[in-house]
Chains A and B, each alone.
Chain A
Amino acid sequence: MIPESEITTHAAKLQIRNVSKRFHSSNGITHALDNVSLDIREGEFVCLVGASGCGKSTLLNHIAGLEIPDEGSLQLDGVPFSGPDRTRMMLFQEHALFPWLNVIGNVLFALKLKPNLNDKERKEVARYYLHLVGLQDFANSNIHELSGGMRQRVALARALAPNPRILLMDEPFAALDTMTREQLYGDLQRIWQQRKITIVFVTHNLREAACLGDRIVLFRPRPGRIFREYPVNLPRPRDLNDPQIATVSGQITQDLKTIGKDSA
């Protein structure tokens, strides 16, 4: 039996308070984040959009605990945190799967670090998540034998397996073809509704954002700040080709152009 605690979760509330981050590099100081504050409700699906270099990945890395802010704080259900933790899992733009492990070995990686499970339970949990992403028949495949879409699915299973309360996704589907991507939108919405996990999703694709998000947060670059937020109150599951989605993404495109003119 799979322990119930491994496949159900309490989505977490995330508070980002006045976070600033500067990077020092060869061409001076980059203000990647400037006084960014954002509240994310438990179980909310938030999409971050904005021009390249406006600090989206940097913010995600902060939430993941891979970066420490210069100023400001981050809190999970009101408790400040720093450093990475299995309650906040990240799905990267490239799959980041380990080539020296097979599919199930990758999914087991994080589970093996969980002390409260025995090996049999770990295997069952891993299989459960492989099933969830539709790859139960590929448990023993090597990573290089999978297609790009399948790899992202394994990465999704690997990120879900430790049962995080927050899932961070950094342009996870950018490298995939349209067909595979639309299929994964469907999968992701299904899994999200089943699990009611909190998701922060970075994308360049505004239609993708409108299709997936409860709310879209638009950033502006140099310094990286939040420009505007857009609630998306459309019924789910949503279809990418719905005209209402085009309306939402059209409005954001307009604002993106204004930002572009301002900073030019």
Chain B
Amino acid sequence: MKSKAIIHLLVFHLILVVIWEIITRTGWVSPVLLPSPIDVAIYLFDSITSGEMLKAAWVTLKRLLFGYVIGIAVGLPLGLLCARLKCVQNTLGVLALGLQTLPSVCWVPLAILWFGQSEAALLFVVVMGTTWSILIAADNGVKNIPPLYLRAAYTMGSKNTHTWIYVIMPAAFPAIVSGMKQGWAFAWRSLMAAEIYVTIMSGFGLGQLLHYGRELQAMDQVLGVMAIVIAIGLLADMLLFSPAEKLLRSRWGLDKS
């Protein structure tokens, strides 16, 4: 980002915070409904220094990563299989298309019934939120490879496994990256929803922290947790997906994202 863009960004957000502070300071909105940014900052400072926030964030991140990795490990190979085999396409492919449209919070009641108030229930919801979109992205990515690439590869002596590893996978890479990004977003959303609904003993995550903030009418806590959730989302984008997208832009010359 250019320094001018950074200045614009900072000024914009500073203005928003100042307006927010003015609204609460002048008493237009009661602090019970909307705490001032300073209160939120104080809460964040306290909860971070006491370790409460970091512990909750760590619990949530562990669940997220675990579910996400399982989602990829299941969705990616199934997606490739879908693209390859007509019979898988006509069965699993269609099912995936349907399940992908289902917001994964809808799984929560069943998850609780099947797994109780447990880590497994949360994991199940995250996996359901991730797998299908990655499966579909991988399937589409492979199907949309220009046939010309394959023909060129065949004439150069590539076949079977070699074609898969050195032609089909890299050719589908842009689509797979965007599928993984979408899968990450779905996993993140479904986990937050699940944590708010499922209170469990084995660990206290960000969603649960937010839930208790609401129970206690502590809106500074709710807003503080929201800020942390946003920060984790942005950080993941920067660490996980920006490098891949940068590679795509410089090598492929794509200007996506």
Contacts and interface: CB of A to CB of B under 8 A. Distances in A.
Interface of A: 64-66, 84-86, 88-90, 92, 94, 96, 98-102, 109-110, 113-114, 142-145, 158, 162
A145 B120 CA distance: 49
A66 B154 contact: yes
B251 A142 contact: yes
B3 interface: no
Interface string B73-109: 0000000000000000000000000000000000000
A100 to B, nearest CB: 4
A102 B171 CA distance: 14
A86 B156 contact: yes
A162 B253 CA distance: 27
B175 to A, nearest CB: 12
B65 interface: no
A132 B115 CA distance: 67
Given A142-B250, A142-B251, 10 more contacts: A66-B151, A90-B152, A92-B151, A92-B152, A96-B149, A100-B170, A100-B173, A100-B252, A109-B153, A113-B162
B157 interface: yes
B166 interface: yes
A244 B17 CA distance: 80
7 contacts: A86-B157, A89-B156, A100-B173, A109-B153, A110-B157, A144-B252, A158-B156
Residue picked from B154, B156, B167, most chain A C-beta under 10 Å = B156
A100 B155 contact: no
Contacts of B151: 66, 90, 92, 96
A113 B152 CA distance: 14
Contact of B171 (A94, A100, A109, A144): A100
Contacts of B1: none
B252 A96 contact: no
A98 B170 contact: yes
Interface in B115-173: 148-149, 151-158, 162, 166-167, 170-171, 173
B155 A66 contact: yes
Size bracket of the B interface: 20 to 34
Contacts, number: 64
Contacts of B158: 109, 113
B154 A84 contact: yes
Interface string B164-207: 00110011010000000000000000000000000000000000
B156 A162 contact: yes
B157 A85 contact: yes
A88 B155 contact: yes
A89 B251 CA distance: 26
Contacts of B154: 65-66, 84
B155 A98 contact: no
A110 B252 contact: no
A226 to B, nearest CB: 24
B255 to A, nearest CB: 10
A98 B252 contact: no
Contact of B252 (A85, A88, A99, A158): A99
B76 to A, nearest CB: 18
A113 B251 contact: no
B155 A94 contact: no
